[in-house]
């Protein structure tokens, strides 16, 4: 299942992501992974979650991010939740490749039985219509 946290800058998306990640850690019998560009969440997300900085691995773009998340799921069978903070910071293509990425990540989430939450800095009405079929919004 894919969940989207959407809204323009300054609407509390990152705060909500931190809350959801910490709740997932408390409820999970497996591993929770938080993917971000940079290390700004280090002191906000519980140490029990695995924080991954995409800059350390030179991840940029939708294809690279998809491969990275796929590798996380493939390398560790008990990942229950993956949170991606600031998708447009990692993928500078913006809205142009978002729909295809969300469909691919949704398929991966179903196959790996992992919940994926994506933080998208855009108004809901600006998102491609096709995304609504494969995800839920918070």
Give me the domains of the chain, ranges plus CATH numbers: 2-137 (3.40.50.300)
Q: What is the pLDDT along the chain (138 residues), one digit of tens a residue?
A: 899 998 888 888 899 999 999 999 999 999 999 999 999 999 999 999 999 999 999 999 999 999 999 999 999 889 999 999 989 999 998 888 999 999 999 999 999 999 999 999 988 888 888 887 666 666
Angle at 20 between CA 16 and CA 23, to 5 degrees: 140
């Amino acid at each position: 299942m894919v969940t989207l946290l959407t809204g323009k800058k300054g609407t509390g998306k990152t705060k909500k992501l931190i809350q959801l990640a910490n709740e997932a850690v408390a409820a999970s019998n497996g591993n929770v992974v938080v993917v971000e560009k940079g290390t700004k969440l280090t002191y906000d997300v519980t140490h029990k979650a695995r924080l991954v900085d995409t800059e350390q691995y030179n991840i940029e773009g939708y294809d690279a991010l998809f491969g990275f998340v796929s590798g996380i799921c493939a390398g560790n069978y008990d990942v229950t939740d993956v949170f991606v903070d600031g998708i447009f910071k990692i993928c500078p293509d913006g809205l142009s490749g978002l729909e295809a990425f969300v469909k691919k990540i949704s398929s991966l989430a179903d196959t790996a039985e992992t919940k994926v939450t994506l933080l998208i800095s855009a108004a809901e009405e600006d998102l491609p219509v096709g995304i609504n079929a494969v995800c839920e919004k918070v």
